Amino acid sequence: MSDHALRLLREQPHLAELAAFPFNFDLTRADHGEAVRLASGGPLEAVAGDDTGGTYFVCGDGSVLYADSEGSAGIIGNSVDEALEVLVGLPGWHDHLGLAPADGEEKIRAALAETEEEIREYHGIDDERTGLRAGLGLPERSPVQLIGLLHAALLRTEPDFLLLNAEEGGAHALLDRHPRPPLWEAVLARGRTDLTLLREGSAWVEVAEDRARRALALRAAQFDRREGDLPLLRHLLRHEAEASMTDELRLAAVLVGLHGHAEDLPLLYEVRETDFDTWCGLGGMPEPGADPAELRRWARDLDDSLFGTDPADEPLFTWTGLAHEQGLVELARAALIRRLDDIDFRAYCDARDGKAMERRDASQLSTLVHEFEQLGDTFQALRAQRLYVPLQTRAWDRVSALLRLARLEREEDRFGAAIRTLTSLRDTLAEPDGGAGDSDGDGDGDGDGDNSLGHWQRTNLGAYIVEEHYALARTAATDTALADEVRAVTVAAGELLARLSGTARENVERHLAGTTDIRTDTRTDIHTDTGANAGAGVSAEPTPPQPSAG
């Protein structure tokens, strides 16, 4: 995109003065006042500001993003040249963010004329506009054309130009309030195209053998059901079984079952018997020889409880997962951040009002952490995990949540926070319910209270805890300001390792030895060395799944 106008403003002070007043594009106000970044991680350069505290940023593709001082942001031009066309041609453009070409020429011209008359009561704009356009070589466009440019630019803000507070991670609101298509519409577009191809008898192999395309085609068939789809549904069902148990496999079985043909029972039974997961996930399915009416009832019950015909009723995570699968990463990220922001805001309001955060958010937060990690966005995963930890009431769940929090903090190089989190974790191990459940005083929590951690030393959870201590000691060793804290973590790691059961301890030592080139005959040194280098060279744990109490 052209930066011709910006270069001229920087080279010619008299043009820069005109742009600053009366058109409020001031090169000397390029300091936004708070650190911001794009959710996508793309480049962002502040180039100018206005007298209300707003800032103009140039993005990697040349687009201009405007962020006001109230926490809203939006693209206002495909380039600096285009943005300046809008600012010069629409003085008072903030008042016209709600206008769109669909409003018609008469309404647009009337609104702009009223704003310009109000401006003229205080200072001139006509001669200044003519002079600046001539100096920058900007074309003269009609108000309707300029509103069209602004409207189209604003609609491009999400997902690629979602602006975040760099410290806290929350997203800016949209600068305008124009309606956007729902997430599912963008996600389903490819699936609808493929479903049409399948119905025409083409692309059967290409769609069926591509996991992402197959899933989307099945979702498209969910919301556009036709009697003649049974052959293609059978075809997709057979291929989806190769992916083991998925939501789309269950959907394909339901869509086939709703047709109620007895000859489909052997196929459905074969799919159910693919592996243990499919056997569990498709439980209750009628077996071959059953009455077709029974098959329809089974499919209808699952359809009513899990699927349905309205895409707006599907959970957000259905669409973000499918978006990620087809490479629409920023679309998924933006939707997930917006959902996390909603939960974060409710938590803020609850804290302000002296109320506990609602537990209904716990499952969503857990899924958000997982989804952000799948996207490689550890920063947002950490935000979600911080909100998730206080919602855990059982000692086992608290320790598991703290372990995950410590790992995310370590991966984000927040070593001091990770050290404090592991300290809280060890405190919980020592007193699972504040000591009330440890009647024999051995720190195992096996009294009359919360005894969910009674045998943590024999589980994978215990192994993961020890490995995370060593991983943090290794990575945090580079921070000399934390030398004493790192040493304490290393000592704690050795003490925890010594408390593990024989098999669990041997497995951890074997893992540590394999990742540090420690010889078998010196493995015991891992937990007896209390020096600062005891954890050096130990690799990070391979992001284990969070253990359950079972």
Place of tokens 């041997």: 506
Give residue 529's pLDDT.
34
Angle at 396 between CA 394 and CA 401, to 5 degrees: 95
Residues near 46 by beta carbon (within 8 Å), at least 6 away in sequence? 30, 31, 32, 55, 56, 57
**If you average pLDDT over every residue of the chain, what do you get?**
90
Q: How far apart are CA 81 and CA 91, in angstroms?
A: 15
pLDDT at 434 over 70: no
Residue 76 scores a pLDDT above 80: yes
Q: What is the pLDDT of residues 139-192, one digit of tens each?
A: 999 999 999 999 999 999 999 999 999 999 999 999 999 999 999 999 999 999
Reported as a single tens digit per residue, the pLDDT across 114-142 is 999 999 999 999 999 999 999 999 999 99
Per-residue pLDDT tens over the stretch 493-526: 999 999 999 888 998 998 888 765 433 332 333 3
Higher pLDDT: 252 or 353? It is 252
Which helix (H) or strand (E) element contains residue 67?
Answer: strand 64-67
Asked if 497 and 509 count as a contact pair (C-beta separation under 8 A), the reply is yes
Q: For the segment 197-211, what is each residue's pLDDT rounded down to a tens digit?
A: 999 999 999 999 999
Percent of the chain with pLDDT over 90: 85
Burial class (CB in 10 A: 0-12, 13-18, 19+), 382: buried
Tell me the CB-side half-sphere exposure of residue 388, using CA atoms within 13 A: 27
pLDDT for res 91: 95
Q: Which two tokens stand for residue 88?
A: 């010069």
The whole-number pLDDT of residue 456 equals 95
Does residue 22 register a pLDDT over 70?
Answer: yes
Q: pLDDT tens for residues 269-313? A: 999 999 999 999 999 999 999 999 999 999 999 999 999 999 999
Average pLDDT over residues 227-253: 96
| Average pLDDT rounded to a whole number, residues 80-90 | 97
Name the band, by pLDDT with cuts 50, 70 and 90, for residue 359: confident
Please give the pLDDT value at position 134. 97
d(CA 247, CA 227): 22
Tokens, residue 91 = 């003085």
What single DSSP character describes residue 29? G
**In the chain, % of residues over pLDDT 70:** 90
Q: 194 vs 360, which has greater pLDDT?
A: 194
Over 60: is that where the pLDDT of 541 sits? Answer: no
Residue type at 173 in one-letter notation = A
Nearest alpha carbon to residue 35 among 170, 161, 164, 175:
164
Beta-bridge partners for 37: 164
3-state helix, strand, coil split of the chain in percent (to 5) is 60, 5, 35
Q: Residue 416: which pLDDT band, with cuts at 50, 70 and 90?
A: very high
What per-residue confidence (pLDDT) applies to 2?
60
User: What integer pLDDT is reported at residue 257 of this predicted model?
Assistant: 97
Give residue 513's pLDDT: 83
Report how far residue 387's alpha carbon sits from residue 27's, in angstroms, rounded to the nearest whole number. 40
CB atoms within 10 A of CB 399: 25
- Closest by CA position to 319, among listed 309, 310, 331: 331
Residue 327 has pLDDT above 60, yes or no: yes
In sequence order, what are the residues at sequence separation of 6 or more whose Cβ sits closer than 8 angstroms to the Cβ of residue 48? 19, 25, 26, 27, 29, 30, 55, 56
Per-residue model confidence (pLDDT) at position 546: 41
Determine if the pTM surpasses 0.95. Answer: no
| pLDDT at residue 213 is higher than 90 | yes
What are the phi and psi torsion angles at 414 (to 5°)?
-100, 70
pLDDT given for residue 519 in this prediction: 30
